[in-house]
Amino acid sequence: MSFPDPIAVFRTEAAELLEQIEAGLLDLNVNLGDKDQIDAVFRGLHTLKGSGAMFGFEALAAFTHHCETAFDRVRKGEVPATQALVTAVLEAKDHMRALVETPAGDHEATSEALLANLRAAVDGAKSPGVHQAAAPAQTLFKIRFSLPQNAMANGTNPLPLLDELRELGECTIVADRSAIPSLDLLSPTDLHISWNVELLTSQPRSAIEDVFIFVMDDMRLEITVVEAVTAAAKSPEKPATPIQAAEPVAAEPAPVTVSAPRVPAPMTAAPAPTDAKANKASENVRVPAEKLDELMDRVGELVIAQSRLSQLAGGSGDLQLRAVSEDVERLSGELRDTMMVLRMVPVTQLFGRFRRLVHDLSHETGKMIELVTEGESTEVDKSVIERLADPLVHLVRNSCDHGLETPDERRAAGKPQAGRIMLSARQQAGEVIITIKDDGRGINRERVRAKAEASGLIQPNANLTDQELYQLIFQPGFSTAQQVTNLSGRGVGMDVVKRTIDALRGTINVISHPGEGSEISLAIPLTLAIIDGLLVRVGAGRYVIPLSAVEECLELSIEEDMRSRGRSFISLRDSLVPFLRLRDLFRTGTKPDPFQKVVVISTGSERVGLVVDQIIGDHQTVIKAMSKLHHDVATFSGATILGDGDVALILDVGHLVAEGQQQEAHLRAAG
Amino acid sequence: MNEAVRKISKDLWNGRDELEVLTFDIAGEMFALEAVIVQEILDLLPETVVPGAKAFVGCVINFRGKVIPLADIRLAFGMEATKPTIDSRIIVIAINIDGEPVLAGIRTDKVHEVTTLLRAAGEPPPSVGMRWRPDFIECLVKRGTEFIIVPNLNAIFAAEADRTGSSISHGSAQR
C-alpha cells in the first residue's frame, strides 16, 4: 500500500473545485444577484488558490488570485455581478484547468489576455454609485498572531501569509522574537517567532481572517481595530480583545457590506464551510476505477465457480450439498447485483457539462437557448457514462446549430424566442434511454433524401420509411448543412455518434416533426460488463451471440441448405436475408449437423442470418476483453468463460452484419 | 507484477553477470526465459481456437478467470508440432506489447528448472550456419555440451503481430 501521490490528489481536488466553480458561475448567470452563489464561487476560487500554492502550482495560484480578487469585490458589493464578468471568469476557469494539468506549459500570454478581459469586465461593471462607496474607507487593524511550534514541520510557511497581509494594504510587520529559547534548547525546525502587524486597509476584517484560513485551526490570532481612519466608518475604538470574545465589528466600512452582522461571528465560524465540506466528503470513499474492475473480475470468477458448483450439486444426490450450493448461488447473485450498483453513477455528472456547452454555443450562434434536463438521478455504469460524453456533445451541438432557428425565425414561426433543448434520461428494462429533444425546425426529409441520392447512399426513388431515412444522417461524411460552420456541418459528428453507440451495443432512434423539432433517443445497455447472450455451437466450438441483436431463430432444412448453396440467401416473410455459414467462416472442417439453425441478427434495419450447428440456450455472459494480441480479429468483440471453465468467444454483431451486407453487395454486382 | 512486466531490456544482462532463468524444452531444443517474467506454470488446459487469428496465437485459454492467448513459439522457429505428453506444460509470462502489460501462455514440451546462466558462457547468435532468424534469439548460452537458447520474445511477438495471418475477415480492412 503506498500513499497516493499528493500532486495527483491535488489534481483530483482541483478538478472538483473547478466543477463547483463552473456550476456556481452558471447558476449565477441565471440569477445575477444570488449572494450564495457569489460566495460559493469565491470560496472555490480561494481554496483553489490556497491549495495550488501549497502544492507548488505557483502560476495557478497567481492567476487564480486575480479572479478571486474580482469576486471578492463582487462579494462585498463594490462591483455588481454581470454577464460579462461571469463569462470572463468562465473563460479564466478553463485556463485554470490548463494550469492544473500542465503547470510547466507556456501560459503567460493566455493568462495576460484573460486577466485583461477580466479587468475590463470588472471596470465596466462599476456603477457610479458603487464607485463612491468603493473609495477607501480605511481602518487600522492591529494583528497579533503566532503559529504552533510544529507549523513549519507540517509544511506551513509563514512568509507567504505575511506577503498576503502586505497585499491587503499598508502594513508594518514586526517579528516578536521574545519566545526564542537559548541556543542549546533551540530546535531548528520549531517556530518560535510570533508577529505583530499594523495594517491600514480598506478591506474588512474577514479579509484578514481569510489570509489565515488554512492555518486557522491551531493558531492564535488576535485582530483589533485601532481606529477607523475615514469618516465612513465611525466606531468607538475597541480595546485590545482577543477575537474569541466575538466582538461586533462595527468598524467595518459599513456602506458596502450588506451582511455586516455576519462577520463578527466567533472565529471558529470562519472555517466552518470547509469543515462541513470535509465531513460530507468523508461519507464517500474514492476508489480508483481499476480496483472496481478488479473486484468485478473476481465476482465474475465467483459466478463462474458457482455455476460449476451447482452443476456438481445438481448431479449428486447429496441434499446438504445442494442446500449449500443454493445458498452460494443466491449470495453470489446478490454480490453481483451489489457490485453492479457500485459501478453505477448518476447521469448528473454527464448532463452538468452541457450547461456550459449550451451557454457557450448560445454565445457563438447568437441564438437564445435554454437547456432543460430531466431524470438526472438515473444511474448508468461509469464506463458507459464516460463513453457517452462525446456523442452527446455532437448531438447537442447539432441541435443547437442545425435544429434551433435564430430568434427572428422563431418569432416568425410563432414560437417562443428562446429555443429549448431537453436532455433526459430514464431506465427501461435493462436499458437506459437518453433523449436529446429540441423544439427547432426538425429534420428536412427532402434534403436528406436528395443528399443521400446524390451521394449514392440510396437508389433514386427508393422506398424508405422515415426511420430508415433518418438513420442516413449517421453515415460518415453525410451533412445537409449548406455551409460548414465552426460548430458542425462537416459530417463527422453523427458518424462518431453512430460508432460509439454501436460499440456500446446501443441503438439510435430518431423522431422528427417538421417545424416542431426533433428527438434523438439513445438506448444503451446499463452495463458493459455482463450481457445476455445466446450460446450456440459451430463445429466443436461454442460461441456467444449478444441476445439483444437476435431477432429470431429458425431451422435451415437440408433442401434449403442445398438450394441456397450458390446464393446464400433465405427468404424470410417475403424479404431476402443474406446469411453467413459460420462453419465455413471459422473453417471448422466439420460436417454440418443434419438440422442446422439460422440465427437472424440485426443492427437497426440491416439483417443477417448466421448458420450454426446447434443452439444451446441463453447464457449470462461476463465479458472479458480479448488480449492485445488478438485485436486484429474483428469477428469477435470479446470472450467469456462458460460454466465448465471453457472459453467461448463473443461474436461482434456489427462486424458480421457488415460482412453479410458486403457479401450481398458482391452478389448483386455479380448477378 | 509491475516489476515482472518491465520490458525485457535490449541488453538482457543489463550489466549483470548472472541471470536467473527458467529452462524448458520445445521440439528437442532447450530454451530459457528470464525467471522474473514467468508468472506461473500450468498443466495443459482446454484450448479455444480463435478463428481468423494468426497461427502464432491461434488459441486462448482460461487462466484463472482471465482469457489469455496461447502463443506457439515453435512457429517462430519453424519447428515441427509435437504431440502433447504427460510432461507438456504451459508457461504463463507477462510481457510488454506497445507499452501495455500482456499475459500470454507458451506451450512447452517439458519444463526443467530455475537455474542461473553466466554471462561469460553466453554467445551472440552466429550469423551463419543457423536455420533460425538471428533476431529471434537473444543469445546462446553454453552449458556442458549443449546450448541453451534464450529467445528474444519482444522481437518474436512484434514480428508475429505484423505478419498477416490466415484472416477470414476480408472485409475488416474497411473498418
**Has residue B4 been placed in a domain?**
no
User: Which of B69, B169, B171 is nearest residue A629 as measured by Cβ atoms?
Assistant: B69
B103/A contact by beta carbon, under 8 A:
yes
**Has residue B15 been placed in a domain?**
no
Which residues neighbour A417 within 8 Å (Cβ) at sequence distance 6 or greater? A368, A407, A410, A411
Q: Nearest C-alpha of chain A: how many angstroms from B78?
A: 20
pLDDT > 90: percent of chain A: 3
Q: Nearest C-alpha of chain B: how many angstroms from A535?
A: 15
A546 and A518 co-located in one domain: no
- B/e letters for A508-545, b = 16+ CB within 10 Å, e = fewer, are bebbbeeeebbbbbbbbbbbbbbbebbbbbbbebbbbb
- DSSP secondary structure code for residue A402 in this structure: I
Domain final residue pick, A477, A496, A525: A525
Q: Which helix (H) or strand (E) holds A637?
A: strand A636-641
B168/A contact by beta carbon, under 8 A:
yes
**Has residue B169 been placed in a domain?**
no
Q: Please give the residue of chain B at the shortest CA–CA distance from A622.
A: B65
Alpha-helix runs per DSSP H in A76-125: 83-101, 108-125
Contact A630 B172 (CB under 8 A): no
Average pLDDT over chain A reads: 76
**Has residue A489 been placed in a domain?**
yes
At A585-603, the pLDDT tens digits run 888 888 888 888 999 987 6
Q: Is there a contact between B81 and B161 (Cβ–Cβ < 8 Å)?
A: no
Q: Which helix (H) or strand (E) holds A39?
A: helix A35-54
For A659, phi then psi, to 5°, come to: -60, -45
- Find the CATH number of the domain harbouring A56: 1.20.120.160
Strands A550-556 and A569-572: unpaired
Please tell me the least confidently modeled range out of A283-287, A399-403, A535-539. A283-287
Please tell me the least confidently modeled range out of A223-237, A483-497, B116-130. A223-237
A154 and A97 co-located in one domain: no
Q: Which long-range contacts (CB under 8 A, 24 or more apart) does A354-358 make?
A: A354/A392, A354/A393, A354/A396, A354/A423, A355/A23, A355/A26, A356/A22, A356/A26, A356/A90, A357/A393, A357/A396, A357/A397, A358/A396, A358/A400, A358/A421
Q: What HEC string does A125-159 produce?
A: HCCHHHHHHHCCCCEEEEEEEECCCCCCCCCCCHH
Reduced to 3 states (helix: H, G, I; strand: E, B; else coil), residue A629 is helix
A293 and A350 co-located in one domain: no
A424 and A505 co-located in one domain: yes
B94/A contact by beta carbon, under 8 A:
no
Domain count, chain B: 1
Q: Is there a contact between A122 and A144 (Cβ–Cβ < 8 Å)?
A: no
* Residues from chain A contacting residue B103 (CB–CB below 8 Å): 627
* Residues from chain A contacting residue B71 (CB–CB below 8 Å): 629
For B16, phi then psi, to 5°, come to: -90, 155
A200 and A84 co-located in one domain: no
Q: At what angle do helices A289-315 and A319-342 cross, to 10 degrees?
A: 160
The better pLDDT of the pair B170, B42 is held by B42
Domain count, chain A: 5
Strands A139-146 and A596-603: unpaired
**Has residue B18 been placed in a domain?**
no
pLDDT at site B70: 92
CA quadruple A207, A211, A214, A217: dihedral positive or negative?
Answer: negative
* Residues from chain B contacting residue A630 (CB–CB below 8 Å): 50, 53, 57, 60, 69
**Has residue A175 been placed in a domain?**
yes
**Has residue B173 been placed in a domain?**
no
Q: Nearest C-alpha of chain A: how many angstroms from B130?
A: 28
pLDDT at site B162: 59
Burial class (CB in 10 A: 0-12, 13-18, 19+), A459: exposed
Contact A645 B62 (CB under 8 A): yes
CA quadruple A250, A252, A253, A259: dihedral positive or negative?
Answer: negative
* Residues from chain A contacting residue B57 (CB–CB below 8 Å): 627, 629-630
* CA A340/CA A296 separation, integer angstroms: 8
List the grid coordinates of A499: 460508432
Q: Is there a contact between A581 and A587 (Cβ–Cβ < 8 Å)?
A: no
**Has residue B172 been placed in a domain?**
no
CA A580 distance to own-chain centroid: 41
A335 and A418 co-located in one domain: no
pLDDT at site A494: 79
Q: Sorting pLDDT into bands at 50, 70 and 90, what band is B161?
A: low
User: For an interface test with B, which of A624, A633, A641 has the most B Cβ atoms less than 10 Å from its Cβ?
Assistant: A633
**Has residue A1 been placed in a domain?**
no
Residue B122 zone, left/alpha/beta (φ > 0; ψ -120 to 50; rest): beta
User: Which of A300, A585, A630 is nearest residue B65 as measured by Cβ atoms?
Assistant: A300
User: Which of A629, A636, A641 is nearest residue B161 as measured by Cβ atoms?
Assistant: A629
pLDDT > 90: percent of chain B: 18
* Residues from chain B contacting residue A649 (CB–CB below 8 Å): 48, 50, 60
Contact A624 B67 (CB under 8 A): yes
A140 and A108 co-located in one domain: no
Q: Is there a contact between A72 and A207 (Cβ–Cβ < 8 Å)?
A: yes
The better pLDDT of the pair B65, A483 is held by B65
Q: Please give the residue of chain B at the shortest CA–CA distance from A625.
A: B67
B43/A contact by beta carbon, under 8 A:
no
Burial class (CB in 10 A: 0-12, 13-18, 19+), A159: exposed
DSSP secondary structure letters along A151-200: TTTTT--HHHHHHHHHHHEEEEEEEE-TT---GGG--TTS---EEEEEEE
Which residues neighbour A50 within 8 Å (Cβ) at sequence distance 6 or greater? A61, A213, A214
* Residues from chain A contacting residue B52 (CB–CB below 8 Å): 586, 633-635
pLDDT at site A298: 82
User: Which of B48, B52, B65 is nearest residue A301 as measured by Cβ atoms?
Assistant: B65
A178 and A234 co-located in one domain: yes
β-pair partners for B66: B63
Q: Please give the residue of chain A at the shortest CA–CA distance from B96.
A: A628
Residue A355 sits in which domain range? 345-525
Q: Which residue has the cell 489534481?
A: A11
Contact B167 A628 (CB under 8 A): no
For residue A256, pLDDT beyond 60: no
A320 and A365 co-located in one domain: no
Q: Please give the residue of chain A at the shortest CA–CA distance from B51.
A: A586
Contact A635 B65 (CB under 8 A): no
**Has residue B16 been placed in a domain?**
no
Contact A655 B52 (CB under 8 A): no
Alpha-helix runs per DSSP H in A366-477: 382-398, 407-412, 445-454, 466-471
For residue A257, pLDDT beyond 60: no
Contact A585 B168 (CB under 8 A): yes
β-pair partners for A513: A517
Please tell me the least confidently modeled range out of A39-43, A120-124, B158-162. B158-162
Maximum Cα–Cα distance for chain A, whole Å?
108
Interface of A with B (CB under 8 A): 297-298, 300-301, 304, 541, 585-588, 624-630, 632-636, 639-641, 645-649, 655, 658-659, 662
Size of interface A-B (CB pairs under 8 A): 98
Q: What is the mean pLDDT of residues A261-290?
A: 52
pLDDT at site B61: 92
For residue A78, pLDDT beyond 80: no
Strands A517-525 and A541-546: unpaired
pLDDT at site A259: 40
- Find the CATH number of the domain harbouring A607: 2.30.30.40
Q: Which residue has the cell 517439458?
A: B110
For residue A258, pLDDT beyond 80: no
A359 and A317 co-located in one domain: no
Q: What HEC string does A274-336 produce?
A: HHHHHHHHHCCCCCCHHHHHHHHHHHHHHHHHHHHHHHHHHHCCCHHHHHHHHHHHHHHHHHH
Residue B123 sits in which domain range? 23-163
pLDDT at site A83: 79
Mean pLDDT comparison of A56-60, A213-217, A348-352, highest-scoring range: A348-352
List the grid coordinates of A658: 457488415
Q: What is the mean pLDDT of residues A125-145?
A: 59
Q: Is there a contact between A296 and A343 (Cβ–Cβ < 8 Å)?
A: yes
Reduced to 3 states (helix: H, G, I; strand: E, B; else coil), residue A262 is helix
* Residues from chain B contacting residue A631 (CB–CB below 8 Å): none
Q: Is there a contact between A552 and A600 (Cβ–Cβ < 8 Å)?
A: yes
Q: Sorting pLDDT into bands at 50, 70 and 90, what band is B91?
A: very high
Q: Please give the residue of chain A at the shortest CA–CA distance from B61.
A: A647
Q: Nearest C-alpha of chain A: how many angstroms from B159?
A: 12
Contact B50 A649 (CB under 8 A): yes
* Residues from chain B contacting residue A625 (CB–CB below 8 Å): 67
* CA A68/CA A70 separation, integer angstroms: 5
A260, HSE (Cβ side, Cα atoms, 13 Å): 14
At A165-199, the pLDDT tens digits run 888 777 888 888 888 888 877 777 788 888 888 88
Other C-beta atoms lying within 10 Å of the C-beta of residue A375: 18
The better pLDDT of the pair A100, A238 is held by A100
Q: Sorting pLDDT into bands at 50, 70 and 90, what band is A147?
A: confident
Q: Please give the residue of chain A at the shortest CA–CA distance from B55.
A: A630
A43 and A98 co-located in one domain: yes
DSSP secondary structure letters along B2-55: TTTTS---SSTTTT-SEEEEEEEEETTEEEEEEGGGEEEEEE----EE-TTS-G
User: Which of A628, A633, A645 is nearest residue B52 as measured by Cβ atoms?
Assistant: A633
**In Å, what is the CA distance from A71 to each residue of A38, A121, A186, A453, B150?**
7, 11, 44, 56, 67
CA quadruple A17, A22, A23, A28: dihedral positive or negative?
Answer: positive
Other C-beta atoms lying within 10 Å of the C-beta of residue A47: 22
A119 and A160 co-located in one domain: no
**Has residue B146 been placed in a domain?**
yes
B145/A contact by beta carbon, under 8 A:
no
The better pLDDT of the pair A230, A468 is held by A468
- Find the CATH number of the domain harbouring B31: 2.40.50.180
User: Which of A297, A585, A646 is nearest residue B51 as measured by Cβ atoms?
Assistant: A585
For residue A91, pLDDT beyond 80: yes
- Find the CATH number of the domain harbouring A353: 3.30.565.10
Q: Please give the residue of chain A at the shortest CA–CA distance from B97.
A: A628
* CA A377/CA A354 separation, integer angstroms: 16
Contact A629 B104 (CB under 8 A): yes
Q: What is the mean pLDDT of residues A404-412?
A: 85
Q: Please give the residue of chain A at the shortest CA–CA distance from B48.
A: A647
List the grid coordinates of A381: 455504469
* Residues from chain A contacting residue B165 (CB–CB below 8 Å): 632
